[in-house]
Every structure is written in structure tokens, then in C-alpha cells.
């Protein structure tokens, strides 16, 4: 473990050192995990994803019928999901443009959450053991 005490005042700023190293030369994240979670950080987009999980595919008019936002806003959110690689165009029904989840797109995110939970389970058990073992009797 490597703790740095930079001269910059706050931890948040220093933390950008961690973030910097995750950008390749072209400024892309090496994997889409950050982008996927950023897309899912928005509650409206999470609703859209659960709608897609339930319905299989959907469209701008269908989503704006169930969400309290304009078609334009729906289209914008869909485009953000598309940008994060979460949705793609589905085969059209008639003239309607439909969208569906890109197969496997959610897997890295759900895997991260599961692994993080398991990791903390283990770390907290070790923390408990270490602190209790060091107790003066």
C-alpha cells in the first residue's frame, strides 16, 4: 500500500492521480465500466433499463408514455445509454425504431457489484479479527 501526501490540499484533487492513470493516451477509459456506471447513475436511465429488462425492446413513444418526460428527453437518455454501449437498435416493427439492451452489456457492472460485496465481506472480517486480537485484556 502506497500512501502519498501530495502538496495539493484535498484528497479529492489528489484522487485525480488515480483517475489520470485510467485514461489511455487517447483519453479513453480502458474498459467501459466507468461509462456504464455513469450512464446508470441517472434514475431516469435506470428506469429505462428496467423497462428494457421487462419488455425486451422499447421505443421513444413507448418510453415517453410511461415516463413523465418529453420524447426529446427520452431520445437524449437513449442516446446516453447507446453511448455507454448499453442499448442498440432492435429490428424494426413496421416503421417504428425500437431499442433493446445490448447482450452482455450489464454483466461487467453487475459483476463489479458482486465482487465488491464479496471483497468487503472478507475485508471487514479481517478488520474485526485484527482489531479484536489487538485488544488489551
Partner 1 sequence: MSVRREIEVEASPERVWEALATREGRERWLVEPERDIHVEVLEAPHRLVWWWGGEEQPATRVEFLILAVPVGARVIVTESSPAFPLAMLARSLAPVLA
Query: What does the binding site for partner 1 look like in residue numbers (CB under 8 A)?
Result: 1-4, 10-12, 14-15, 17-19, 21-23, 27-29, 31, 33-35, 37-41, 109, 112-113, 116-117, 120-121, 123-132, 134-135
Q: Would you say 95 or 126 has its CB closer to partner 1?
A: 126
Strand pairing report for 87-93 and 96-101:
antiparallel
Q: Would you say 23 or 97 has its CB closer to partner 1?
A: 23
- Minimum separation from the CB atom of position 35 to partner 1 (A): 6
Kindly calculate the radius of gyration of the chain based on its CA atoms and give it in whole angstroms. Answer: 21
- Minimum separation from the CB atom of position 72 to partner 1 (A): 20
- Minimum separation from the CB atom of position 73 to partner 1 (A): 19
Sheet containing strand 96-101, edge to edge, reads 57-58, 96-101, 87-93
Q: What whole-number distance in Å separates Cα of residue 10 and Cα of residue 16?
A: 11
Q: Would you say 31 or 96 has its CB closer to partner 1?
A: 31
- Minimum separation from the CB atom of position 4 to partner 1 (A): 7
Q: Would you say 62 or 106 has its CB closer to partner 1?
A: 106
Nearest to 31 by CA among 102, 110, 85: 85
Amino acid at each position: 500500500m502506497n500512501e502519498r501526501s501530495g502538496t495539493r490540499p484535498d484528497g479529492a484533487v489528489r484522487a485525480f492521480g488515480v483517475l489520470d492513470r485510467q485514461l489511455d493516451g487517447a483519453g479513453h477509459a480502458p474498459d467501459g465500466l466507468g461509462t456504464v456506471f455513469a450512464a446508470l447513475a441517472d434514475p431516469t436511465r435506470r428506469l429505462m433499463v428496467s423497462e428494457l429488462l421487462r419488455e425486451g425492446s422499447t421505443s421513444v413513444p413507448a418510453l415517453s408514455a410511461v415516463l413523465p418526460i418529453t420524447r426529446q428527453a427520452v431520445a437524449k437518455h437513449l442516446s446516453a445509454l447507446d453511448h455507454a454501449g448499453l442499448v442498440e437498435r432492435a429490428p424494426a416493427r413496421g416503421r417504428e425504431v425500437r431499442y433493446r439492451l445490448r447482450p452482455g452489456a450489464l454483466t461487467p457492472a453487475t459483476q463489479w457489484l458482486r465482487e465488491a460485496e464479496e471483497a468487503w465481506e472478507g475485508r471487514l472480517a479481517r478488520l474485526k479479527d485484527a482489531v479484536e486480537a489487538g485488544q488489551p485484556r
